[in-house]
Amino acid sequence: MRNFLLTATLLIELVCAEAKEITFTQHVAPIIFQNCTSCHRPGEAGPFALMSYNDVKKRGKLIQLVTEDRIMPPWHAQKSTFKFHGDRRLSEEQISTIAEWVESGMPEGDHDKLPSLPNFINGWQLGKPDMVVGMSEPFPVPDEGRDIYRSFVIPLDLPEGKWLKAIEFRPDARSVVHHCLFFYDTTGEARRLDKSDPHPGFRRMRQQGRGIGPLGGWAVGGQPEKLPEDLAYYLPKEADLVLSMHYHPSGKPERDQSSVGLHFTDQKPSTSFTGVQLPPAFGALNRISIPAGEKAYTVTDEFTLPIDVEAFAVSAHAHYLGKQLRMTATLPKGEILDLLNIPDWDFSWQEQYQFEEFIKLPRGTKLASTVVWDNSAENPSNPNIPPRRVRWGPESDDEMGSLTLLVRPAEGQNIGTLNSLYRLHVGQVARNPKPATLSKPVEEQFQERGHLIVAGILERSDKNGNRKIDRGEEPIWLKRSFDRVDTNSDNALDQEEMMTALKRLRR
């Protein structure tokens, strides 16, 4: 009897041990093939392949770390109220399966259990485009220097207007193409600018106005998507396509000749759609000016919907100093919905997030967006060490930031009402932008800056090194106010007196 019991326990233990062993072929390969290999294979964005046991074993520890930290698969939106289409986040269970496998020595397991690789689409992700066009000649991108903004015009010669579901962008020189905005031009302006510039393409043109309209865009990390349901852009007949590219030199000279695939539909959409961008114009109207060292420069904006809408996508945009970008919707009854929350912004992954389903937002819903920038030395993405003041501007090392919600009007609602109210809002922000808030109280900020100014004056003018500006040492602009600043009348300006003077000046 005793013997029998012993054997039974042993058997159970053996069975359990068997069930617990995590192997590559049975447990880990399905996770990697489904969630990693689409990018980690030749010709795609990932820097190495993850297609076999050896590929994965070689980087096992690193894979454990990047999945535990949720650095990979790249997906920066935090779980929010609504499901996003194509959400790449791994489940907790998948993450711990990988970790346990790595920690138990990465056994390969039974060959028969290895799943086959998914059928990846090579080339065009959205299937064969109806029309493929590209830059007519390569554009040379130097190895270093400032970012380059360059536009290229592509005549489409469409004999009639077309409904467009998607433009799929194929970057050519992947390491330098940072983003590309698409728009159409029926005015001939782009052709004229191209002709008058001796180099391939031309510098810049307006992207809105009569005869010119936006058609979406692409940025590193973005996956192409067709507009949902029957939504489509209108591409007028004989319009030219304009690709407005942003290049970021990579340290190696490159030549780029990117191309795009156009997907048309014959179905005329039942409604048009629009983007509500908060703050408008990527923050240009908010006069963004981020002090050096500031950890949480925060700009907010709000807009109340004047009609019932259905939201279908949301995106965020900022440069290197962007830290947190968030948009919420407060329903008329007070319930707050999270539309997009990116708590740890990464410049390299500027995606548009499409909702799994249209989200109904009734009239009276308040959209609110918050953009936080971190211009401290602790921000590992800060391009300036030591930090310097950064203002709004188009270059990568300038800043901008906003969130954009794409909406269509609900049935029976007029999109014109929304557009005109939004234009009013843009005017209000331009005239009267909400001041940014800082992580430190204004007084403290001033103290810091004041001390820097005073230190500068001392360095340049304190000839005898007594840490004061004696009479005769003062710079010309201090000559007339010397007596007023010298409150204790000792014929020398100490640091405290200079700080008081600066404060008075500020008032």
Q: Give the footprint of ligand HEC on this chain (CB under 6 A).
A: 35-36, 38-40, 45-47, 59, 62-63, 66-67, 72-74, 88, 90, 348
How are strands ordered across the β-sheet holding 401-409? Answer: 274-278, 401-409, 309-318, 352-361
Taking the least distance from each CB to ligand HEC, the nearer of 99 and 181 is: 99
Taking the least distance from each CB to ligand HEC, the nearer of 54 and 414 is: 54
**Shortest spacing between CB 32 and ligand HEC, in angstroms:** 6
Taking the least distance from each CB to ligand HEC, the nearer of 44 and 230 is: 44
Q: Which helix (H) or strand (E) holds 289?
A: strand 289-290
Contacts of 483 (CB under 8 A, 6+ apart): 489
Tell me the one-letter amino acid at 110.
Answer: D
Tell me the one-letter amino acid at 165.
Answer: K
CB-based contact 269:230 (threshold 8 Å): yes
| Strand pairing report for 254-256 and 139-141 | antiparallel
**Shortest spacing between CB 378 and ligand HEC, in angstroms:** 19
Taking the least distance from each CB to ligand HEC, the nearer of 350 and 370 is: 350
CB-based contact 401:325 (threshold 8 Å): yes
Cα–Cα distance for residue pair 367/336, rounded to 1 Å: 10
Chain Cα centroid distance, residue 277: 14
Cα–Cα distance for residue pair 367/349, rounded to 1 Å: 24
**Shortest spacing between CB 89 and ligand HEC, in angstroms:** 10
Q: Which helix (H) or strand (E) holds 152?
A: strand 148-155
**Shortest spacing between CB 148 and ligand HEC, in angstroms:** 21
Taking the least distance from each CB to ligand HEC, the nearer of 63 and 405 is: 63
Taking the least distance from each CB to ligand HEC, the nearer of 40 and 248 is: 40
**Shortest spacing between CB 221 and ligand HEC, in angstroms:** 6
**Shortest spacing between CB 66 and ligand HEC, in angstroms:** 5
Chain Cα centroid distance, residue 343: 12
**Shortest spacing between CB 46 and ligand HEC, in angstroms:** 4
Taking the least distance from each CB to ligand HEC, the nearer of 46 and 140 is: 46
**Shortest spacing between CB 39 and ligand HEC, in angstroms:** 3
Taking the least distance from each CB to ligand HEC, the nearer of 89 and 440 is: 89
Place of tokens 């930090």: 387
216 to 165, 297, 335: CA distances (angstroms): 10, 29, 31
Return the SS3 of 215. Answer: strand
Taking the least distance from each CB to ligand HEC, the nearer of 51 and 337 is: 51
Taking the least distance from each CB to ligand HEC, the nearer of 66 and 410 is: 66
**Shortest spacing between CB 406 and ligand HEC, in angstroms:** 22
Closest C-alpha to 268, from 233, 216, 228, 225: 233
DSSP assignment of 297-330 equals: EEEEEEEE-SS-EEEEEEEEEE-TTEEEEEEEEE
| Structure-token pair, residue 278 | 């908060």
Cα–Cα distance for residue pair 335/326, rounded to 1 Å: 16
Taking the least distance from each CB to ligand HEC, the nearer of 38 and 315 is: 38
DSSP assignment of 17-57 equals: HHHH---IIIIIHHHHHHHTTTTSSTTSSSSS---SHHHHH
Tell me the one-letter amino acid at 137.
Answer: E
**Shortest spacing between CB 243 and ligand HEC, in angstroms:** 22
Cα–Cα distance for residue pair 75/340, rounded to 1 Å: 12
CB-based contact 371:399 (threshold 8 Å): no
**Shortest spacing between CB 437 and ligand HEC, in angstroms:** 31
